[in-house]
Amino acid sequence: MIARLRQSIPAYLFLLPWLIGIIGLTIGPMLLSLYYSFTDYALLNTPEWQGLHNYTALFHDSRYLQSLKVTFIYVGVSVPLEMAFALAVAVLLNRGLKGLAVYRALYYVPSLLGGSVAIALLWQQIFGSDGLLNDVLGLFGIHGRGWISEPGTALWTLIVLRVWQFGAPMVIFLAGLRQIPDEVLEAAEVDGAGRWQRFWRVTLPLLSPVVFFNLVLQIIGAFQAFTPAFVISGGKGGPSDSTLFYTLYLYQQAFGNFKMGYAAAMAWVLLLIVAVFTGLNFVLGRAWVFYGDEGVRR
Amino acid sequence: MTTLSRRTLLGLGAATAAAITIPGCSGKSGPMRVSWYGPDPVTKALNKALDAWKSSGGAEYTAESAPFNDYWDKLATRTSGGNAPDVLRMSMSYFSDYAGRSALKDLSSSGIDTSGLDKGVADSGLIDGKNYGVGQSSISYAMYVDEAAVKKAGATVPAQGWTWDKFAEFARDYSGAIQGSYGSTDQAGNFQLFEVYARQHGTELFSDDGGKLATSKDTVQEWFQYWAELRKAKAAPAQNVSAETTAIEKSLVAKGKAPLQFGWVQQVTFYQPVVKNPLSVLPVPQGTAGDLKGQFVKGLDLWSISSASKHPEDAAKLIGFLLNDEKAIKAIGILLGVPPSKKARDLVAADAGSAGARAIKYVEDIQALVGPSPKPWPKGYGELLTGFGRIAENIGFGKSDPAKGAQEFVDLAGKTLGQ
């Protein structure tokens, strides 16, 4: 027993930095935030216990409901679009293109830059009323509008921004496509399957675990989107709360209005929402995700 | 003498180590930290003033600055972490939040020399007889007018003031006379201008204890209605136009699309560099022409010391220096507002043709005519400030109307104040 413990000491020692990190920087703060979510905590005072009040207050807060709505639209529209785009480009790039590495890098660049403040500012320039987009539209005689300054269109510019960052899932799709054995596709071709049939009946099912992986990651990421809305709307979520993302409202409550307890409650509800969506993905995934070895069992 | 075992020695060592590190956790006293908010010119000016402090033998310091919005996020987290800067610039918008939660030090016996300051400014930081901040400037609300543009349109803006009705008439005529221009910018969401409007209607904005909204729902509604009508008449721009004019260089007055702009008096120096013609500084419209009782002169930005400061003496000395030293006064100019003492104003006003000199003259001219200064803005003011703007925006985009918006604001105030 002692000898075994002695043996594992080096292992624990090596683990120690990570353990300190996860306890000090993740688990500790999470537990603290769970506690704060049941308190009235204005950052500068000591937290006062008030039970479930923050949680019940959420559903009487019209701006909170607005932030939910904005976030759901954003996730629901941008994630499928981004995935479709990523897959389409990955399939195109998979066809032994000359200079593939260059294209791959080019398409991947937006993913690296997309979350940055600079790109959000660039977006502001493009979609402003005297921005690039309206200049281009002007060439065709179309009179543009202030895309980010009108509540009807502001959220859509942010959706376009996310779709533009399709590079990360694209690279993963590309890797997945490379895993599909040529023999399978050739066999399908010999059997008389056309290009589309091969894609739908062979490529996509074999790729489904990768699609699933991307979907789960992208949904989680989209729920947590913050920077672009923060920068483009100057931290307000405007115009007229049309880009009031969940995380943005959380941030406003915590640091703008000193309602840390309320914000903590929001964070836990968001965790719950993301958990439900991820769980749902796994349940639904059983119906369409195909792992190679399952074929053997059937 | 007993011999120490290895274990007790180890234990002793650990205890000493803890004793040394624990005070270290709550912020080791390095040099005094000074922090402020403001655009680039403000930062440059304050750095220059701090250089003067150093060269005249002042204590070591480190300085940090941030734009207004970022500053408050940072300050809130740092203060809650027991790591607030020693000397800090405090805005009246958040003053009560901090003072009321004892994050600021009472400066009553700190020895800061405030004898030269204007009365309303020296007292600006007073809450329940305790002084949590010293005013760094005298400011008042104002209207900056591009008189050359106005003249070109064949109109005039009365220097003594005019009524809101006359102002609306002017805005309509101007917009009609000059294609693609607006007689006024849209001020519906301007909570600070609304405070003047509320006082013109006979009440303060907030009750004396800060626990309630003192102005009536009708006044709020009337205000939203006034601007809605100006927008409808195209005398003020549509909401989507206003939504793009938040930055100074993108403002309508900078683009030559409106002849006037509203703001705190010292902000004229931020606008002047981007406007071709000289901007004159005039009172905002009134209920009765020439009656300036709605306006006030007050210190709305303060120097405060964090209650957790390890350098309270040096911090107090530095504040005294920034307020009274000739070199510091000259370095700061009017970037923080009109200087709060006669001596400072005389030192700064030398350049008579400048926008700064016009701002100073404006404050001196109206000082005797304005109403009493209001109490410090209450806790939750920051939330009302942004909420008012948001509600006005919803009305502007047709998602609400003046009556609904007024009700929404009154509800928000009820929820936010006195917490």
Phi, psi (deg, nearest 5) at residue A48: -115, 125
**Considering only CA atoms, which of A82, A83, A107 is closest in space to residue A93?**
A107
Cα–chain center distance at B281: 18
**Is any Cβ of chain B less than 8 angstroms from the Cβ of A144?**
no
> Cα–Cα distances in Å, from B218 out to A188, B201, B328, B416?
76, 10, 46, 20
Question: What distance in Å separates the CA atoms of residue A260 and residue B163, rounded to the nearest whole number?
Answer: 44
Give me the percent of chain B exceeding a pLDDT of 90: 41
The ranges assigned to domains in chain B are 12-138+298-360, 141-296+375-417
Top residue of A36, A39, A149, A249 to mutate, by most chain B CBs within 10 Å, is A149
Question: Residue B127 is encoded by which pair of tokens?
Answer: 């809450």
**Secondary-structure percent of chain B, ordered helix, strand, coil, rounded to 5:** 45, 15, 40
Give the gap in angstroms from C-alpha B133 to the nearest C-alpha of chain A: 18
A135 CB-contact burial (10 Å; exposed 0-12 / middle 13-18 / buried 19+): exposed
Give the gap in angstroms from C-alpha A145 to the nearest C-alpha of chain B: 9
Nearest residue of chain A to residue B391 (CA atoms): A240
Query: Residue B10: is its pLDDT beyond 50?
Result: no
Nearest residue of chain B to residue A150 (CA atoms): B240
User: pLDDT tens digits, residue range A134-185?
Assistant: 888 888 888 777 888 888 888 999 999 889 888 889 989 988 998 888 888 8
Instruction: Please give the single-letter amino acid code of residue B310.
Output: K
For range A282-288, the mean pLDDT: 90
Q: How far apart are the first and last CA of chain A?
A: 45
Phi, psi (deg, nearest 5) at residue A152: -70, -25
For range A92-106, the mean pLDDT: 79
Which of the pair, B352 or A77, is modelled with greater confidence? A77
User: pLDDT tens digits, residue range B375-389?
Assistant: 888 888 988 998 999
Chain B residues inside the 8 Å CB shell of A128: 244
Give the gap in angstroms from C-alpha A100 to the nearest C-alpha of chain B: 41
**Considering only CA atoms, which of B298, B284, B286 is closest in space to residue B200?**
B286
- In the structure, what pLDDT confidence band is assigned to residue B350 with cuts at 50, 70 and 90? low
- In the structure, what pLDDT confidence band is assigned to residue B3 with cuts at 50, 70 and 90? very low
**Considering only CA atoms, which of B318, B315, B320 is closest in space to residue B116?**
B320
Question: Residue A199 is encoded by which pair of tokens?
Answer: 């894609």
Question: What distance in Å separates the CA atoms of residue A56 and residue B303, rounded to the nearest whole number?
Answer: 40
Interface residues on B facing A, Cβ-Cβ cutoff 8 A: 69, 72-73, 76-77, 79-80, 97-98, 101-103, 239-241, 243-244, 246, 380, 382-383, 386, 390, 393-394, 397, 399
Question: What distance in Å separates the CA atoms of residue B292 and residue B284, rounded to the nearest whole number?
Answer: 9
Which residue in B80, B243, B246 is closest to A43 by CB distance?
B80
Instruction: Please give the single-letter amino acid code of residue B54.
Output: K
- Residue B158 DSSP SS3: coil
Contact B183, B258 (CB under 8 A): yes
CB contact under 8 A, B239 and A128: no
User: pLDDT tens digits, residue range B232-257?
Assistant: 999 999 888 888 887 788 889 888 88
What fold, for B141-296+375-417?
A: D-Maltodextrin-Binding Protein; domain 2 (3.40.190)
Which residue in B246, B383, B393 is closest to A234 by CB distance?
B246
Angle at alpha carbon of residue B270, lines to B139 and A122, rounded to 5°: 130
Which of the pair, A233 or B332, is modelled with greater confidence? B332
Question: What distance in Å separates the CA atoms of residue B284 and residue B213, rounded to the nearest whole number?
Answer: 23
- Residue B286 DSSP SS3: strand
State residue B29's pLDDT score. Answer: 66
Phi, psi (deg, nearest 5) at residue B377: -60, 140
Chain B residues inside the 8 Å CB shell of A239: 239-240, 243, 393, 397
Which residue in A44, A146, A151 is closest to B79 by CB distance?
A44
Question: For residue B338, what is the DSSP state?
Answer: B
CB contact under 8 A, B383 and A234: no
Question: What distance in Å separates the CA atoms of residue B357 and residue B365, rounded to the nearest whole number?
Answer: 12
Contact A260, A43 (CB under 8 A): yes
Most confident among A270-274, B56-60, B96-100, B159-163 (mean pLDDT): A270-274
Mean pLDDT (chain A) is 87
Place of tokens 């694209």: A170
Cα–chain center distance at A11: 35
Chain A residues inside the 8 Å CB shell of B401: none
State residue B305's pLDDT score. Answer: 94
**Is any Cβ of chain B less than 8 angstroms from the Cβ of A125?**
no
Query: Residue B270: is its pLDDT beyond 90?
Result: no
Q: Is it true that the peptide bond before A110 is cis, omega within 30 degrees of 0?
A: no
Bridge partner list, B144: B261, B281
Dihedral angle of Cα B362, B363, B365, B368, to the nearest 10 degrees: 150
Query: Residue A298: is its pLDDT beyond 70?
Result: no
Chain B residues inside the 8 Å CB shell of A258: 76, 97
Helix residue ranges, H only, B125-190? 147-152, 164-177
Lowest mean pLDDT among B105-109, B214-218, B235-239, B348-352: B348-352
Sign of the C-alpha dihedral, residues A131, A134, A138, A143?
negative
Contacts of B180 (CB under 8 A, 6+ apart): B257
Phi, psi (deg, nearest 5) at residue B340: -85, 5
State residue B40's pLDDT score. Answer: 84
CB contact under 8 A, B393 and A238: yes
B212 CB-contact burial (10 Å; exposed 0-12 / middle 13-18 / buried 19+): middle
For range B176-186, the mean pLDDT: 88
Chain B residues inside the 8 Å CB shell of A151: 397, 399
Q: Class of the B12-138+298-360 domain?
A: alpha beta
Chain A residues inside the 8 Å CB shell of B386: 236, 256
Q: What is the pTM of this model?
A: 0.84
Question: Residue B252 is encoded by which pair of tokens?
Answer: 């309508």
B202-210 long-range contacts, CB within 8 A, separation 24+: B204/B374, B204/B375, B205/B374, B206/B374, B206/B375, B206/B377, B206/B378, B206/B417, B208/B375, B209/B418, B210/B96, B210/B375, B210/B376, B210/B377, B210/B378, B210/B379, B210/B417, B210/B418
Concatenating the DSSP letter of every residue in chain A gives -HHHHHHHHHHHHHHHHHHHHIIIIIIHHHHHHHHHTTEE--SSS--EE-TTHHHHHHTT-HHHHHHHHHHHHHHHHHHHHHHHHHHHHHHHHTTT-TTHHHHHHHHHHHHHHTTSHHHHHHHHHHHSTTSHHHHHHHHTT-----GGGSTTTHHHHHHHHHHHTTHHHHHHHHHHHHHS-HHHHHHHHHTT--HHHIIIIIIHHHHHHHHHHHHHHHHHHHHT--HHHHHHTTTS--STTTT--HHHHHHIIIIIS--HHHHHHHHHHHHHHHHHHHHHHHHHHHHH---HHHHHH-
Contact B288, B163 (CB under 8 A): yes
Question: What distance in Å separates the CA atoms of residue B55 and residue B327, rounded to the nearest whole number?
Answer: 11
Bridge partner list, B262: B143
Sign of the C-alpha dihedral, residues A102, A107, A110, A112?
negative
State residue A296's pLDDT score. Answer: 46
State residue B13's pLDDT score. Answer: 45
H or E element at residue B264: strand B260-264
Chain B residues inside the 8 Å CB shell of A255: 72-73, 76-77
- In the structure, what pLDDT confidence band is assigned to residue A114 with cuts at 50, 70 and 90? low
**Is any Cβ of chain B less than 8 angstroms from the Cβ of A43?**
yes
Question: Residue B187 is encoded by which pair of tokens?
Answer: 């001020």
Tell me whether strands B32-37 and B87-91 are parallel, antiparallel or unpaired.
parallel
Give me the percent of chain B exceeding a pLDDT of 70: 92
Contact B238, B231 (CB under 8 A): yes
Query: Residue A229: is its pLDDT beyond 50?
Result: yes
CB contact under 8 A, B244 and A241: no
Place of tokens 């709605």: B294
Chain A residues inside the 8 Å CB shell of B188: none
Place of tokens 């939330």: B383
Which of the pair, B209 or B26, is modelled with greater confidence? B209
Question: What distance in Å separates the CA atoms of residue A73 and residue A36, rounded to the nearest whole number?
Answer: 29
Angle at alpha carbon of residue A253, lines to A247 and A257, rounded to 5°: 155
Q: How many CB atoms lie within 10 A of CB B192?
A: 17
Which residue in B101, B243, B244 is closest to A45 by CB distance?
B101
